[in-house]
Amino acid sequence: MSPLAASRLRRSRAVDRLVAALITVGGSSVLLAVAFLMVFLVAQCLPMLGTGSLKRTPPASDGPKPVAALEDEYRSAVTLLGEDGAMHVVPRSSTPRVTHLDGVQPPVRQGRTDAAGTLLALEDASGAIGVWAFAAEVKWHGNTRVIEPSLRKIATKPGHAGAPILAVAGDLDIPAVLVASSKGAMLLTGTDDAPASVELMLPSPPRVGALAADASQAWLASGRELAWYSLAGGQEALLASQATEPLASPPTAAAMVVGDFTLLLGDESGSVNAWQVVTGAVAGSKVINLAGTFAGNGAVRALAASQRDKAFLVERTRGTSIAYLTSRRTLLSVPEFPSDSTVAGISPRRDGLFAVTRAGVVHRWGLDLAYPEATASTLFLPTRYEGFTSPELAWQSTGGSESFEPKLSLIPLLVGTLKGALYALLFSAPCALAAALFISQFAPAALRQVAKPVVEMMAAVPSVVVGFLGALFLAPLLQRHIVGTLALLVFLPVVVVAAAAVWQGAPVMWRRRMTPTRELVLVSALLASVSVGVFAVEKGIERVLFAGDLKGWLLSAAGITYDQRNAVVVGFALGFAVIPIIFTLAEDAFSNVPPSLISASLALGASRWQAARTVAIPAASPGLFAAVMTGLGRAVGETMIVLMATGNTPILSFSPFNGMRTMSACIAVELPEAPYGGTLYRVLILTALLLFAMTFVINTAAVMISNRLRRRFGRLAA
Amino acid sequence: MSGLRRWLAEGTAQRWLTAAAVLLALGMVAGLIGVVVEVAGGFFWPQRLVELQLGDGSNVLGEVWDRESDPGSPGMERVRVKVGNRDLFGADFRWIRESDVRKRDFPAGAWLIERREYGNFYGFPIRLELPSATVAVADPLFRTALAREVDGAHDLVREERGLLRRVDRLHAPVAKLMVLVAAAQRRGEDAHALEARLANAQRSEDEATRPIMERLAAARQRLNQARLVMSTADGREKQVPVSAVVRAVPVNRLGSAQKVGLYVERWWEFLADEPRESNTEGGIFPAIFGTALMVVLMTVAVVPLGVVTAVYLNEYAREGALTAAVRIALANLAGVPSIVFGAFGLAFFVYTLGGGIDRLFFSNVLPTPTFGTGGITWAALTLALLTLPVVVVATEEGLQAVPQAVRDGARALGATRWQTLRRVVLPYAMPGILTGAILAVARGAGEVAPLMLTGVVKLAPNLPFDSVPPFLHLDRKFMHLGFHIYDVGFQSPNVEAAKPMVYNAVLVLIVLVVALNLTAIMLRNRLRRKLRGSAV
């Protein structure tokens, strides 16, 4: 061999080996891709399992005896009101600053802040109560941001000789202060020029109280009972409580949850109860209802609610923790929480905690609660959301107001998905299986040549087209002809069977002349005439059965409303997409039955139908089953058709005349808008993963069961 | 009893029921195609304008769209008339009771004016006002003068569009600098140097655009000078600037040939023009273009991978646990709902991969995303994953059709495996690969759900491919035919008026997908014949 040829041979062999390696890598990369897809989606959901974390920052000290404390939303500084009547700004990184507040006579006896962290009510040595507004101004020094907290006096209320200030709330123009009194409590409202006050009656002296953010409701709790007052329009001087509830243990702390429906009440036994006012049995009456309980060790010392969501801080004599109202869970405990803290709170953006000790030492933590609103119980079990009177399964991911709480139950979506798939299969499975049987066993060859490509075309029609026609053509049509359509579904088989019975009685001469093609023509003529006939008498049927108006009848008889885009429309539209899948697989299964078996049974004198019933269908049954399961898999995952033809309302209803929202449609609509990394984003990725798992299970089940059936019927085919 | 048993055994009823099922399925396909073809096919056909005199003495001119029994008075019918003139009447459509109609005729003097804004105008021309002269409708020169003016207006509009595009291009560096300045400020960095450059760029932009803006102003002035004065059916006078006229046609006077011409012209406009009036009028060219480009990118990604996988499974791998696993993975890819691919595309391609690219290469404009938002690349890659099983299955079928003797012959002549594959097996299996590619394209062209998550938009200001370097903008969002159907049919403010346009888009999409599938089926049938031939 010449040296040139040898080198070329070497090179070709090297190339060959390289290509083989590349192709192996490329081929197995599909496996990697699928594995990666699953692992990646799981990884995107995993953060939801975390319960969050705390990061402690070094404490800072300023020395005064603190009366109240506030934090700005950038967490740049904790602002203390000292007993010395001065504002002490304790920043995270630099030295504290002290500003004396004008007109405050030290010592300050008591102070209280509102839930939103913008108002401060304080009683100084003069005995009057001053209401101050807290603001944090953002200033730019070149390119560095400086936050300057400030307090501004907005109102002065007459003092009540050292009676405790229970709560402060309201807006900056007309703040309201709740002060304990001998008969219950005084609500001081109005402006400085035109002061007003309302006396809230309570049989025993109150220990704690709370006000809604707009001062439209008040709660008072004495050692024995809890009372609720509606203040809307209540200008009378004396106001009795509208609802009361006895208490098991004396209360020690109270806080309103953002949203203003729920009062958190901590007591000496260590439990924190969530109370809510609901409409009672008697019309217009109000009852206080226990919405949740958080047990713990040691008496509750203080409560502080988040301004963003339903998280709250519980300070107990034996440890401090953070809990979440909606999931009724204690998320994490705060280690090294100072036992002598006098004021504590959650940062405005719920990204931090602070606590101030009696000695004026400020402790701070960075707070990350992960995804407290999405837990296994809120996602899959009925949940009592803030303001709900009973646990419910609801999906409502976005809302208008800032205090809106997302409701992320996956059950309505799951039910919607299954409902859509079920109605689709109800229509498409019998239709497709029967069609496959006819095409493979009875049809003239010419029809077989036409039908198969036509069904393949049916599979190729993009689902957006089917959905569009389903929603904008079929839905209005069905709305007008729903009675006729349902009647047709009943009449069609009945008439066909009846016609076959009549045919049996026809003269033998006629029956001999029947060829498969003529039979087909006859059946299509039958179909056409039944359809025309049923729609002609549609109005009559509706008059006789449903008093002339199906929709009105449904509403009055069964309380069912009729949506234009409903499950029947989806059944037909989705059925259109599923029929070709079931048909193709079922037809394959029938074609794979050895023709010799059929011929043998025909030779033994069986009719074509008997051959089909006793030989073809049993032998093909594994394939038929797999076909239906594959169709179900497609129906569960289909997106555009259900997105367009269902109306997309996430309601829990099995009625064929209502719409629904499926998991796939929900992902398509909401995922593009969901902020990356947020709770909704993770929940929707979880939904996608669930959908993946569902179709995986369905497809695998199809393969496994059909394998088992094939083994059982294998002898037949062999 | 025995009669019944014999009847059941013979199975006439059962056979007929199964036949009914087949006919039902075929009927559904025929019905779908029929509805689409009927609505879409007829929409561009010029309709006669009918003038109705109503009971209250008023006149209505328009096209009859619909007819149904009157829900208000049983036994009577009502018609829906497209009266157009949205700027005068507020709505495009009016329901008119048949009992209200006193007189109806088809006036020869009625014209249809298709406008760029406010939809169609139906009415009677009075005169054409030009800067130099006024031509009355009775003047024999009226039609030629109007045609000349409309043509001139078209040219001017085209010129205006070109000038605006140039202005846009001149603005691009300024826009980029503005993003940079904003990003630098947000990061708290010193932006003075950038600001100075921005000011410079703005100055040079002003200088460069001034002559263009002047030309633009001149063009606009010329455009606005010519006016067509029309009168509506109820006698109101309305001035229509010729610049707003797309087409002016005396519909009721058209002969058959002219009607066919108009029909073809309208279809061409639909296919080749940009959309107007928030996608409810004009054409769908950007959507067709976006679909095509996305599908091309997808094919570039999916065909090599699919062919390599099929070659691996069929030619290289020994059947074993690994190939079984690959086959299971493929079967799963085929069974997974497309929206799951969309979610994966968004989470991985857009946020993880795109976000990573942005942090590495485009950090100077962050937080404005470049690749970290939906775009044509990510959409194409997502669909490539989705269509991979299609390509693999078809290619495998193609490879199986290659007779083993051919491979053995090549190897016996001393060819390496790679040489056999490249010179013998792959050319032989080409129809299979082509079938796979075509089926993948058909699937990709019709798929919408994953695109909604990975980069499709209702209206893209720029095509992802244009004359600005680097010509192919892989980060741009794009329009898609399928999404266009969903968007205009469901999210548009004027669904009723837009509906026929959507039917047209549906027809285009169906024709596209069906043609692709038919090609694939034909190729596959040829392949199967070959397969049968080689097996002998």
Based on its alpha-carbon atoms, the radius of gyration of chain B, rounded to whole angstroms, reads 31
Residue A506: list chain B partners with CB under 8 A.
none
Residue in chain A closest to B388 (alpha carbons) equals A30
Are B19 and A438 an interchain contact pair (Cβ–Cβ within 8 Å)? yes
State in Å, rounded, how far the first CA of chain A is from the last one. 56
Q: Give the range among A688-697, B144-153, B179-188 with minimum mean pLDDT.
A: B179-188
Are B16 and A500 an interchain contact pair (Cβ–Cβ within 8 Å)? yes
Q: Does B508 touch chain A (CB under 8 A)?
A: no
Q: DSSP for A599-662?
A: HHHHHTT--HHHHIIIIIHHHHHHHHHHHHHHHHHHHHH--HHHHHHSB--------TTS-B--
Residue A636: list chain B partners with CB under 8 A.
337
B458 and B317, same structural domain?
yes
User: Which of B348, B442, B453 comes nearest A40 by C-beta?
Assistant: B348
Q: Can you give the pLDDT at residue A336?
A: 84
Are A524 and B392 an interchain contact pair (Cβ–Cβ within 8 Å)? no
Assign residue B408 a region (left: φ > 0; alpha: ψ between -120 and 50; beta: otherwise).
alpha
pLDDT digits 0-9 by tens, A545-576: 887 778 788 888 877 888 888 889 999 999 99
B221 and B105, same structural domain?
no
**What's the gap in Å between the CA of A663 and the closest CA on chain B?**
10
Q: Does B331 touch chain A (CB under 8 A)?
A: yes
Q: Where are the alpha helices (DSSP H) in A473-566?
A: 475-504, 508-513, 516-536, 538-546, 550-558
Q: pLDDT band at B535, cuts 50/70/90?
A: very low
Q: Can you give the pLDDT at residue B106?
A: 87
Q: In whole angstroms, what is the distance from residue A665 CA to residue A646 CA?
A: 9
Topology of domain A411-479+561-717 in CATH is MetI-like fold (1.10.3720)
Q: Can you give the pLDDT at residue A234?
A: 55
* Residue where a domain terminates, one of B198, B233, B267: B267
Q: Can you give the pLDDT at residue A469?
A: 92
Tell me: domain A78-245, CATH 2.130.10.10, correct? Answer: yes
Q: Does B31 touch chain A (CB under 8 A)?
A: no
Q: Can you give the pLDDT at residue B536?
A: 40
Q: pLDDT band at B309, cuts 50/70/90?
A: very high
Q: Does B20 touch chain A (CB under 8 A)?
A: yes
This prediction has a pTM of 0.88
* Residue where a domain terminates, one of B433, B462, B480: B480
Q: Can you give the pLDDT at residue A400?
A: 72
Mean pLDDT to the nearest integer, B332-345: 90
Domain residue ranges of chain A, discontinuous segments joined by + = 78-245, 411-479+561-717
User: Which of B313, B448, B518 comes nearest A640 by C-beta?
Assistant: B448
B107 and B161, same structural domain?
no
B436 and B302, same structural domain?
yes
B212 and B169, same structural domain?
yes
**What's the gap in Å between the CA of B378 and the closest CA on chain A?**
14
Mean pLDDT to the nearest integer, B289-302: 92
Structural contact between residues A266 and A303, judged by C-beta atoms closer than 8 angstroms: yes
Are B453 and A685 an interchain contact pair (Cβ–Cβ within 8 Å)? no
**What's the gap in Å between the CA of A545 and the closest CA on chain B?**
21
Are B448 and A464 an interchain contact pair (Cβ–Cβ within 8 Å)? yes
Mean pLDDT to the nearest integer, B11-18: 87
Structural contact between residues B521 and B397, judged by C-beta atoms closer than 8 angstroms: no
Are B489 and A688 an interchain contact pair (Cβ–Cβ within 8 Å)? no
Residue in chain A closest to B36 (alpha carbons) equals A469
Structural contact between residues B307 and B395, judged by C-beta atoms closer than 8 angstroms: yes
Indicate which of A9, A468, A681 best probes the interface with B, i.e. most B CBs within 10 Å of its own CB. A468
Give the containing element (helix H, strand E) for B388: helix B376-400
- In the three-class reduction of DSSP (H, G, I as helix; E, B as strand; rest coil), residue A503 is classed as helix
Helix (H), strand (E) counts: chain B: 18, 13
Indicate which of A640, A666, A683, A691 best probes the interface with B, i.e. most B CBs within 10 Å of its own CB. A640
Is residue B262, in this structure, part of any structural domain at all? yes
pLDDT digits 0-9 by tens, B69-110: 877 777 788 888 888 888 887 777 888 888 888 888 888 888
Q: Does A699 touch chain B (CB under 8 A)?
A: yes
B165 and B106, same structural domain?
no
B154 and B106, same structural domain?
no
Residue in chain B closest to A39 (alpha carbons) equals B344
Q: Does B46 touch chain A (CB under 8 A)?
A: no
Q: Does A437 touch chain B (CB under 8 A)?
A: yes
Mean pLDDT to the nearest integer, B235-242: 83
Q: In whole angstroms, what is the distance from residue B251 CA to residue B109 CA?
A: 9
Residue B502: list chain A partners with CB under 8 A.
468, 472
**What's the gap in Å between the CA of A566 and the closest CA on chain B?**
16
Q: pLDDT > 90: what percent of chain B?
A: 17
User: Which of B305, B329, B419 comes nearest A31 by C-beta?
Assistant: B329
User: Which of A28, A34, A497 comes nearest B13 by C-beta?
Assistant: A497
Mean pLDDT to the nearest integer, B239-262: 86
The residue whose two tokens read 């940079």 is: B180
CATH code of the domain covering residue B430: 1.10.3720.10
**Which residues of A, range 186-245, sit inside 8 Å of B by Cβ?**
none
User: Which of B332, B343, B417 comes nearest A667 by C-beta?
Assistant: B343
Structural contact between residues A461 and B32, judged by C-beta atoms closer than 8 angstroms: yes
CA A230 from centre of chain: 32
**Which residues of A, range 563-592, sit inside 8 Å of B by Cβ?**
576, 579, 583
Q: Does A439 touch chain B (CB under 8 A)?
A: yes
Q: Can you give the pLDDT at residue B468?
A: 66
B310 and B196, same structural domain?
no
Is residue B281, in this structure, part of any structural domain at all? no
Two structure tokens written together for A638: 């289909």
Residue in chain A closest to B71 (alpha carbons) equals A480
Residue A469: list chain B partners with CB under 8 A.
32, 35-36, 506
B351 and B329, same structural domain?
yes
Is residue B372, in this structure, part of any structural domain at all? yes
Q: Can you give the pLDDT at residue A718?
A: 46
The residue whose two tokens read 């102003």 is: B217
Residue A671: list chain B partners with CB under 8 A.
342-343, 346, 453
Q: Can you give the pLDDT at residue B533?
A: 61
Residue A142 DSSP one-character state: T
Q: Give the range among A69-78, A533-542, B217-226, B388-397 with minimum mean pLDDT.
A: B217-226
Kindly provide the ipTM of the predicted complex, given to two decimals.
0.87
Give the containing element (helix H, strand E) for B525: helix B495-535
Q: Can you give the pLDDT at residue A683?
A: 94
Which residues are CB-contacts of B116 (< 8 A; sequence separation ≥ 6)? B157, B243, B244, B245, B246, B276
**Which residues of A, range 652-681, sit inside 8 Å of B by Cβ?**
664, 667-668, 671-672, 676
CB-count exposure of residue A10 (10 Å: 0-12, 13-18, 19+) = exposed
Structural domain count, chain B:
3
**What's the gap in Å between the CA of A239 and the closest CA on chain B?**
52
Q: Can you give the pLDDT at residue A213?
A: 85
Q: Can you give the pLDDT at residue A519?
A: 84
Q: In whole angstroms, what is the distance from residue A305 CA to residue B36 CA?
A: 59
Range of the domain at B52: 40-123+248-267
CA dihedral A348, A354, A359, A360 (to 10 degrees): -40
Positions of chain A with pLDDT under 50: 717-718
Are B521 and A29 an interchain contact pair (Cβ–Cβ within 8 Å)? no
Q: Report which of residues B210 and B468 the model is more confident about.
A: B210
Residue B532 confidence (pLDDT) above 50: yes
Is residue B173, in this structure, part of any structural domain at all? yes
Q: Does A630 touch chain B (CB under 8 A)?
A: yes
**Per residue, what are the HEC states of A422-486?**
HHHHHHHHHHHHHHHHHHHHHCCHHHHHHHHHHHHHHHHCCHHHHHHHHHHHHHHHHHHHHHHHH
